[in-house]
Amino acid sequence: MKNVLLCIFLSISIHSLAQNRAVTEFRETHEAALSLYFYPSTLRMINLERNMEFDEMIRDIKKARFFKMDSGAVHNEDILKLDNRLREEGFEEVMFMKSKDMDLKVWGVGKRNPVLIIISKSDADVMLLEVNGMINIAKIPKLTESFNQNSFLDVLNLYEKKN
Amino acid sequence: MKNLIIILITVCICFTASAQNDVVTKLFNDYYDDENFTKISVSSKMFELFTEIEPGDEDEQEILEAVSKLKGLKVIAADSIGNSGQLYTNAVKKISGNGYEELMEVKDAKEDMKFMIKEKDGIIDELVMVVGGNKSFFILSLYGEIDLKKISKLSKSMNVKGMEYLKQLDDSDGKEKNKEKDKDKSK
């Protein structure tokens, strides 16, 4: 399920190559245990079996940034401040999920060249994903089948194993 | 007097707008702070983002068309609660008493499932799915302009358990058409 969610978010759309200021400031004031930067070429690298559906789905993603932080280092007020900063920058809350294990919010701005920012908080960590570009959701059914065959490099699990 | 009329019209518009989806929204708010339930809400802006995607084939086009007409989605889900059967009964009672028509019901040994719709001028503007039993409870509300025939394809992309039952609508529709064709032939 996490893979599918990550896949959905990575597969949503882009335009501006500029990094979002609110996210950058948040990153500067909170030490990240894991930072990943994806460009079209590096996104394709996790597609170990050269799955055409995945390549099609990420075709319009120009850039993505992912940060994972220890939850103890990020307070709820910090996330509220980030929410407010994003709102000031014209972002709208387009989705939220609230569960026992995790709270997740998705902020979006733009239509033809959207920027999406996903913030998730669990007891263990806070994850921040900024996607500049569009994911083709119509490819998700076929892609989900591929994920079940483990034909992708799971960069998050590589981090888990290292620790 | 003119101001009063304007205020009354505004109030009426607001009331009509909020009447749609209000039962599910109320249920959503009821369970909002309960940790046993997962709550998901997706706004129309999210669906708008997908309108710019170029479809690769007919299947993708149908998925994207269905998504682009949606105005929102709400989900309430729990998978390990003791009184799921009671929650299901209460939810169905609350929803069906508020202008929703029953579309389909599926009962098996483990779970009960009910699909309800709200229709206006021949267009389905809300689809509600309620599932209960076997310690699980699930409500999904999709609102906007809904084409049931495209929803089963959409359900694949949403990866939502239970919506595969909507495929039966297509099947039963097809059987009815075949029956009509057979009747025409026999004439």
Q: What is the pLDDT of residue B10?
A: 41
CB contact under 8 A, A108 and B46: yes
Digit-coded pLDDT (tens) for B20-72: 468 888 989 999 889 999 999 999 988 888 777 777 778 778 878 888 889 99
Q: Do B52 and A139 touch (CB under 8 A)?
A: no
Q: Are A98 and B39 within 8 A, CB to CB?
A: yes
Examine residue B74 and state whether it is found in any structural domain, yes or no. yes
Give the containing element (helix H, strand E) for A34: strand A34-38
Q: What is the pLDDT of residue B8?
A: 41
Q: Is residue B105 part of a domain?
A: yes
What is the residue range of A14's domain? 2-162
Most A-contacting residue of B157, B160, B167 (CB-CB within 10 A), to test interface: B157
Domain contains B185:
no
The pLDDT-based confidence of B5 (bands split at 50, 70, 90) is very low
Whether complex ipTM tops 0.85: no
In a domain, B5, yes or no: no
- Domains identified in chain A, total number: 1
Decide if B180 is inside a domain. Answer: no
Q: What is the pLDDT of residues B129-184, one digit of tens each?
A: 999 988 999 999 999 998 887 776 677 656 666 666 666 655 555 454 455 555 55
Chains A, B: CB contacts under 8 A, how many?
79
Q: Is B15 on the interface with A (CB under 8 A)?
A: no
Domain that holds residue B138: 22-147
CA distance A75 to chain B (A): 19
* Bridge pairing between strands B101-107 and B136-146: unpaired
Instruction: Nearest chain B residue to A1 by CA: give it.
Output: B159
- B33: nearest CA in chain A? A98
Residues B5-34 have a mean pLDDT of 63
Cα–Cα distance measured from residue A115 to residue B45, given in angstroms and rounded to the nearest whole number:
12
Give domain status of residue B117, yes or no. Answer: yes
Q: Is B106 on the interface with A (CB under 8 A)?
A: no
Nearest CA-CA distance, residue A138 and chain B, Å:
5
B11 within domain boundaries: no
The overall pTM is greater than 0.90 = no
Q: Answer yes or no: are the C-beta atoms of B137 and B81 closer than 8 Å.
A: yes
How many contiguous H segments (helices) and E segments (strands) does chain A have?
7, 6
Q: Is B58 on the interface with A (CB under 8 A)?
A: no
Q: What is the pLDDT at residue A115?
A: 92
Tokens 């479809």 sit on residue = B55
In a domain, B91, yes or no: yes
Query: What pLDDT, on the 0 to 100 scale, is given for residue B98?
Result: 85
Residue B184, chain A, CB below 8 Å: the answer is: no
Please tell me if residue B148 touches chain A, with a CB cutoff of 8 Å. Answer: no
Residues of A in contact with B52 (CB under 8 A): 13, 111-112, 134
pLDDT of residue A27: 92
Q: Residue A63 in 3-state DSSP? A: strand
Contact B81, B36 (CB under 8 A): yes
Q: Is the pLDDT of residue B73 over 80?
A: yes
Q: What is the pLDDT of residue B184?
A: 59
- Report CA dihedral (A21, A23, A29, A34) to the nearest 10 degrees: -140
Residue B122 has pLDDT above 70, yes or no: yes
Strand, helix or coil at A68? Answer: strand
Q: What is the mean pLDDT of residues B112-121?
A: 90
Q: What pLDDT was estimated at residue B51?
A: 76
Least CB-CB distance to B159: which of A60, A95, A144? A144
Chain-chain contact of B45 with A97 (C-beta, under 8 angstroms)? no
For chain A, say whether B42 makes contact (Cβ under 8 Å). yes
Residues in chain B within 8 Å Cβ distance of A93? 43
| A100–B35 C-beta distance less than 8 A | yes
Tokens of A125: 């960590």
Q: List the pLDDT tens digit at each of the 163 positions of chain A.
A: 455 454 445 444 333 445 789 999 999 999 999 999 999 888 888 877 777 878 888 888 889 999 999 999 999 999 999 999 999 999 999 999 999 889 999 999 988 888 999 999 999 999 999 999 887 777 766 666 655 555 566 666 665 544 4
pLDDT in tens, B84-112: 999 999 999 999 888 899 998 988 888 89
